[in-house]
Every structure is written in C-alpha cells, then in structure tokens.
Copies of this chain bind each other. A is one copy, B any other.
C-alpha cells in the first residue's frame, strides 16, 4: 500500500485482525512441524521451523507498528481501543508460541542421537496433539467471534497439564533406568515443558480474545497448577 493511499479506520482494524490470523496460522504450523520433526528426527523440517520464527517476529513488529499508529492517528474510543490493545497482547502470546516451537525444533538434533522409547513417543505425541488442537481452536473461535466457545477452551488447558505430568513422570523413570537416556530425556523434558507453556499462552490468548469481543474479563482464572514442580520420582 503506498503511503498516499487513504485507508479507513475499519480497513486498519481489518489489517490488524488479519495479522492476528496469520500469526495464529503460523503458530499452528510451527508447532505441528516442530513436534513432527522431534518424533521423526527430521532435521530439515526442524530447520524450517527455526526459519519460520523470523517471519513470526516480523509479523509481530508489523502488528505492533500498525496498532500504535492506529491509536495515535485515530484516537479510538473504548471498544475499538480495547480491540487494538487486545490485539497487541494476543500477538505477544502468539510470538511466544512461535519461540517455544522453535526451541523444540532446536532440540531435534540432540534428541535424535538416541532412540526414544515407543511409549514415550506416544505420550509426547498425545500431549502435542492436545496443544495443537488448542492453538487451532483459539484462533478459530477468535475469527468466528465465538466468545462462549473461548470459555470452554480455557478449561481444556487442564487436560494438557495432566498429560504433562504423565510425560514428566515417564521421563524421570527412563533416566533412572539407564543413564544413557539422560541427555535425550533432558531435552524431551524441556520440549514437554514448552508444550505445557504453549497451553498457558493459549489460555492468555483466549482471555484477551474474550475481552476484545465482550469488553468484560473472563471469570477468575482456574488455579494454575504445575504439579511437576513438587514431584519426586515414584
């Protein structure tokens, strides 16, 4: 768009909205790519995820710039201002999801040197699938402006936490069984933790999206428990 083009307020809001959707799609594909790379030791795919993160960062900068420019130029009132500030926050969380997927991708090489037990792969795959569903749903509900669905979605984060606790326990067990597993399992621990954190970012995104749509906050957070923080090996 040339700088002399006159854009309407709605077009500017639509631009910001489209960036959120782009970032959401990219977050989903980075997450899917990084976990597939991890479970199939696909170094080329891992490298692609790492490169994609630069695109994510550029989109976030574009959104931030567009938002601040819009506020300064248009001086929007309550509802529209809320939408713009909400978009800035959603973008920050989506960018973090990209970072976390990149971090998983960067561990593919270190993990791939040893063979992951089949059961463990299955547990991690289950967890990754849950997280990916959440990422895709939160963007879907945002695009569909479905505030009610966002409430349910937030509650689903609990399933991810339960699966994380199971994976954490399994990893400790494998490390104790054979010290040769320790390096790979340590990287897998961080991968599982990253997936759990992506779940938390989805929760934040859901809360911000709800606020953008309704102007009210979701009822108080469910108490957030990472049970593994106090966990010893069985």
Contact = CB atoms under 8 A, between A and B. Distances in A.
Contacts of A182: 172, 175-176, 182, 233
> Residue among A75, A179, A229, A230 with the most chain B CB within 10 A?
A229
Contact of A103 (B113, B190, B229, B232): B229
Nearest to A86: B68
A178 to B, nearest CB: 9
A110 interface: yes
A226 interface: yes
Interface stretch (A13-21, A76-84, A140-148): A76-84
B110 A229 contact: yes
A85 B89 CA distance: 11
Contacts of A110: 229-232
Nearest to A106: B229
A172 B186 contact: yes
Interface residues of A, number: 35
B193 A232 contact: no
Contacts of A72: 77-78, 81
A186 B186 CA distance: 8
Interface in A176-192: 176, 179, 182-183, 186-187, 189-190
> Residue among A81, A113, A226, A232 with the most chain B CB within 10 A?
A232
Contacts of A39: none
Given A92-B92, A189-B186, A230 B71 contact: no
Nearest to A189: B186
A154 interface: no
A79 to B, nearest CB: 10
